Structure 1
Amino acid sequence: MAADTTKPSPEDDIVNEKRNQGRDVAVASAALADAIRREHELTFRDAVRLYPAAIGWSAFVSIGVIMLAFDPQILGGFFATPRFEQDFGYFYELGNEYIISAPWQSGLSLGNPIGQVFGALFASYPMDHFGRKWTFGACVALTGCLVFIQFFSRALTTLLVGELLGGLVLGCYVVIAPAYASEVCPMALRGHLTSYVNLCFVIGQLLGSGVTAATENLDSRWSYSIPFALQWFWVVIILPGMFFVPESPWWLVRQGRTAEAEAVLRRLASSKAPAQAGGASVDITATLAAITETDRLEQALEAGSTYMDCFRGINLRRTEIATGVYCTQVLSGIYMINFITVFFSHGGLSTKTAFDMSIGFLATGFVGTIVSWFLILRWGRRTLFLAGLVGLTVLMFLVAILDCVPRPANGGNSLDWAEAGLLLVWNFVYDLSIGPVCFVIISECSATRVRSKSIAVCTAAQGVLGIIMTVAIPYLINPDQANARGKVGFFFGGLTVFCLAWTYFRVPETAGRTYEELDLLFDQRVPARQFKGYQLDGVAEE
């Protein structure tokens, strides 16, 4: 009988397998190139039209940051609330008033920054194992439970326990929000949705100041119990929506759940926005290919997913940048916001005026963040960050110099108002620049495989500095301590000069780059000042 010559030999199997692999690689490369091209061609207007769901869900998850900012803001307002001072403070004879002592002001205010340290470091584990969605939901439920301790507190020790436990959970939100925003939106929206985290900080602070200003004249415990109770409002709003929040497609790809990732990408993109003539459209297959290929590239570059991997190889530089820009917020003086009402009060303004000024202070921050969205498109990240630091330095030194001017015997009310006005401008510049841009940079500089851990590390570092500032500021501004008033501007102005020099040499321009391109730029060790316009071989450029 003749031999069956149609049966493939082992050598033929190997050849066919290699041919199929080559075909798969070619298809994947073509899909990736198409995805990168689409990312660069997608305008902001088209992105808004094509990804309304991604915008909405990113904003929804960022609500947690409003809760994070609300808690320390109302606590700082309580330090200037007469009934709270009477119930929890002591009578300061020299000033003929009730005050909360500096040690207790520092102790109570430590809950939030301590929470950022330990809560942020813990948050990355459930985020990596259970996803962004369910970690967020669990944090919201825990926050609702822990508010009971604050609401029913009748002693400083009990309130301190409530602040510490609540802070541990609140610290998770600042990791979840930017990570989620950076993973559900296209490149054209990345800067706006990650910087929206800063707007949520401002909204939380503004609401906190507004609530304490509205209740500070109540002559009962409700002057501080009502603000505590209002934290439950966000819990009631968020929890029902958790069942509909889409999971991060990047996390799903890393879990090998590609089909689910594709389904999520379809949910995030609009199905009712057909491409206009010559305009942009959504290609889910190309987007999924880009996510998969970027993850594969980071594995090829030996990018692991542990905390130690944040400090290995090229990730060390990326972690340094993320940590540096976040710590710059603290070093520039932003923790003054938590004490801004008492700062204005001890600075010569009446209690009512101090509350009104604190609201105006935060309102300028709200406007500044909105304006920053236009500048991010025009100037990018690096230039806006540098310009902001220059403005903050000048303003802080002006505040300090004004405070050195001797007050006339009949009072220096005009000088006090001038200092307050400069601080309003300072906050506007902060929220126009380094406030929102920081969250863009920490999201873009971190490798996607260690994004949650990288953000956790820089949040923890910022939290450690926050603890130091939280302890130091009451001692600097309280009348029974250093009573430095506006002279703290010399301290923060000097620190801002240091941050300006570091930023110039270390912070790159990340605007207009896909995550794969950023991986390659860092892998090739391109200097920070050359990131903008650097040509990558074999990668589509704008």
Structure 2
Amino acid sequence: MNKEEITQSINIAKSDSASSDLSKEIKPYYDHDESKDGDYVNKFLDMSKEAREEDQRDKNMTLMEGLRMYPKACFFSVVLSAAIIMEGYDTNLLASFYAYQGFAEKFGKYYPDLGQYQVPAKDQLGLSMCYQTGALVGVFIGGIVPDRIGYRWTMIPALFCTVALIFMQFFAPNVHVLMGSFILLGINWGSYQTMCVAYAMDILPTSLRVYLTTFVNCCWVIGQLTSSGVLKGISTSNNRDAWKIPIAIQWVFPLPLAVCVFFSPESPYYLVRSGQLEKAKHSLMRLLTDHPNQPSKEIIAQSMLTKIQMTIKEEEAVENGSSLVECFKGTNWRRTRIAAITWLIQNITGSSLMGYSTYFYQNAGVDVSMSFTFSIIQYCLGIVGTLGSWFLSQKFGRFEIYFYGLIAIAALLALTGGLGCSNSESLSMGVGSMLMVYTFVYDLTIGPMCYCIVGEMPSAQLRSKTIMLARNLFNIAGIVVAIVTPYMLNPTEWNWKAKSAFLWAGLALLSAVWVYFELPETKGRTFAEIDKLFAERVPARQFKHTIPTTFDAGEIMEKLGNEGVKAVANNIEDVELMERKV
């Protein structure tokens, strides 16, 4: 078969939408033995039509329809996301431990001029950096390993390791062992950061993505709120080992989560990528629930499997594999850049100040116990804000929430910096209260929405790796911010105090400018549509108004070639044959 004949067959496929007519025209131009291979062209055209119809069904599904059909998918997404509660809990403990005399005696030194034990500043910084550097490694593991062995078998060993590492934390004889436990736990926490977002994107329909990915932010806040409640509970204890109680409570989480993850279905995208189509369909059926107004879940699962396979095959035809390098090539570089900078913005727009609201309250004369109460109120506002973002997302798109959220945050930070220009105690109280309002706005807008945006940007082939790169940029920025923030606030160093909010306000405005020109609107878009919009290099502000054509048979056949088309069709036939045998 010569090149002109192949081109002619492709043009015919592009010009006619009726699959029965298409097959009659295309078949003569493909070299195949029908008795041996079956009518694979017809099969492929039917698959293309089925994928397109499934894509439209997914796109038009309402929130209530999604909840009725995918309650199990919601549950399993929540299960994996709940691992982030452990991270929010554990990372919130360390800064509070320094105030406990028993902890200072165990891991600090005695300072005669102060008449008490203190953990040296270098060890405080070292403990903080141990977690941050461990998280960098963990995020990398969470982005690479699931693509090879799946999410379940990456997550379960990590949860069992968490149990052992909590022992290490609890019984640490000196600060060096404690640092080692924070490095290793940081690796665990980092791996969860990547997997929970990628898994949610893989198993949820378009109508539910925003709710279950933004729930990850809620899990962070729930963990921080829980640890703050526990810390307040032991704040009046005279027991020198009281600081160990919050650490021991962590043993409650990992084993129940490991059991739930064991019974969770594997990501169908991972199974299709690894050639396990029969298992992928079984996984999809486990995620679905039969509904009287819909076809049986077996029929829907088959349509979803076809769509996933067509999506991945089309991406494979364009991309040269799924290595990390591909994230920096062609349109994938644009997608990686958007995901990474979106997550970076979280760390460079004043979020570090949220943890210092109690510092400003104490400067205003509020006692330590009451300042802990204020921190609990702050975390409650964070949860309310995240839940509020669900209602906002019904009315507004990702871009609108993120962009106008940054404008509001810039205004709040400017006001906070203005209050910091005075040294009066009453204005310090105002700074603490302004940071509470900031917390609510942050968790209403850019805090939770970031998780949805980052998950929607990558291709299916590179989702875990792109999320990994984005999160690690966030973590690197977090290390820098964690180092400079104490210098900004400390009266013996730069002494900016609340005036440091001016810096973050400026960065928030610059971020808003970047968002306007780079961040596309992906609300209501299926992954196939997003792939197409990026492939056609549609400008960010035109995403909302452009209607792409997905699963175009002629276009996909041109990309895959004769052997590629045959392989796709035969794979599906093999699955159907296995089911008939069963």
User: What TM-score, normalized by structure 2, do the two folds share?
Assistant: 0.85
Q: Which residue of 2 aligns with 1:373?
A: 390
Q: 1:220 and 2:256 equivalent?
A: no
| Kept in 2: contact 1:80–1:345 (CA 8 A) | no
CA distances 1:333-392 after superposition (whole Å, capped 9, x unpaired): 223445554564456432112211111111110000001011112101110001111111
More divergent stretch after superposition (336-345 vs 466-475): 336-345
Matches within 5 A, 1:473-512: 473-512=485-524
For residues 94 and 496 of structure 1, what CA distance do their matches in structure 2 show? 43
Q: 1:448 and 2:460 equivalent?
A: yes
| Kept in 1: contact 2:361–2:429 (CA 8 A) | no
Q: 1:349 and 2:366 equivalent?
A: yes
Q: Which residue of 1 aligns with 2:25?
A: none
2:269 counterpart letter in structure 1: W
1:192 counterpart letter in structure 2: Y
For the structure 1 residues 279 and 361, does the alpha-carbon distance in structure 2 shift closer, same or farther, using more than 3 Å as the test?
Answer: farther
CA distances 1:197-247 after superposition (whole Å, capped 9, x unpaired): 111111111112111121122223333111111111111321222321110
CA distances 1:273-304 after superposition (whole Å, capped 9, x unpaired): 3217x999971121111111110111122153
Matches within 5 A, 1:132-143: 132-143=151-162
Residue among 163, 166, 170 paired with 2:185: 166
For residues 94 and 43 of structure 1, what CA distance do their matches in structure 2 show? 67
Q: Give the secondary structure class of the aligned counterpart of 1:274.
A: coil
Q: Give the secondary structure class of the aligned counterpart of 1:448.
A: coil
CA distances 1:453-501 after superposition (whole Å, capped 9, x unpaired): 1111111111111111122222333455444332221222222122111
RMSD over equivalenced CA pairs, Å: 2.6
How big is the shift at 1:69?
1.4
CA distances 1:319-344 after superposition (whole Å, capped 9, x unpaired): 00110011111001223445554564
Q: Which residue of 1 aligns with 2:283?
A: 264
CA distances 1:399-441 after superposition (whole Å, capped 9, x unpaired): 111011242xxxx2x2222111110110101110111111101
More divergent stretch after superposition (337-346 vs 513-522): 337-346
How big is the shift at 1:313?
0.9
Matches within 5 A, 1:10-409: 14=33, 20-81=39-100, 83-85=102-104, 87-89=106-108, 100-271=119-290, 273-275=291-293, 283-302=300-319, 304-338=321-355, 340-342=357-359, 344-346=361-363, 348-407=365-424
- Corresponding pairs, count: 523
For the structure 1 residues 93 and 52, does the alpha-carbon distance in structure 2 shift closer, same or farther, using more than 3 Å as the test?
Answer: same
For the structure 1 residues 282 and 392, does the alpha-carbon distance in structure 2 shift closer, same or farther, using more than 3 Å as the test?
Answer: farther
| Kept in 1: contact 2:288–2:297 (CA 8 A) | no
For the structure 1 residues 505 and 93, does the alpha-carbon distance in structure 2 shift closer, same or farther, using more than 3 Å as the test?
Answer: farther
For residues 230 and 20 of structure 1, what CA distance do their matches in structure 2 show? 61
Q: Which residue of 2 aligns with 1:515?
A: 527
| Kept in 1: contact 2:408–2:441 (CA 8 A) | yes
For residues 310 and 223 of structure 2, what CA distance do their matches in structure 1 show? 38
How big is the shift at 1:141?
1.0
2:545 counterpart letter in structure 1: G
User: What TM-score, normalized by structure 1, do the two folds share?
Assistant: 0.91
1:419 counterpart letter in structure 2: V
For the structure 1 residues 436 and 12, does the alpha-carbon distance in structure 2 shift closer, same or farther, using more than 3 Å as the test?
Answer: closer
| Kept in 2: contact 1:123–1:175 (CA 8 A) | yes
How big is the shift at 1:153?
2.5
1:129 counterpart letter in structure 2: R
Q: Give the secondary structure class of the aligned counterpart of 2:544.
A: coil
CA distances 1:15-44 after superposition (whole Å, capped 9, x unpaired): 777981220121101111110110122100
For residues 134 and 387 of structure 2, what CA distance do their matches in structure 1 show? 28
For residues 12 and 463 of structure 1, what CA distance do their matches in structure 2 show? 53
Q: Which residue of 1 aligns with 2:541?
A: 529
| Kept in 1: contact 2:52–2:550 (CA 8 A) | no
| Kept in 1: contact 2:521–2:540 (CA 8 A) | yes
1:169 counterpart letter in structure 2: N
For the structure 1 residues 94 and 281, does the alpha-carbon distance in structure 2 shift closer, same or farther, using more than 3 Å as the test?
Answer: farther
Q: Give the secondary structure class of the aligned counterpart of 2:545.
A: coil
| Kept in 2: contact 1:212–1:223 (CA 8 A) | no
For residues 236 and 35 of structure 1, what CA distance do their matches in structure 2 show? 37
For residues 136 and 188 of structure 2, what CA distance do their matches in structure 1 show? 11
Identity %: 34
For the structure 1 residues 453 and 136, does the alpha-carbon distance in structure 2 shift closer, same or farther, using more than 3 Å as the test?
Answer: same
For residues 531 and 18 of structure 1, what CA distance do their matches in structure 2 show? 41
CA distances 1:38-81 after superposition (whole Å, capped 9, x unpaired): 01221001100110000000000111111111111111222344
| Kept in 2: contact 1:80–1:341 (CA 8 A) | no
For the structure 1 residues 340 and 131, does the alpha-carbon distance in structure 2 shift closer, same or farther, using more than 3 Å as the test?
Answer: farther
How big is the shift at 1:157?
2.7
Structure 2: segments with no counterpart, 5+ residues: 1-29, 553-582
Q: Which residue of 2 aligns with 1:4?
A: none
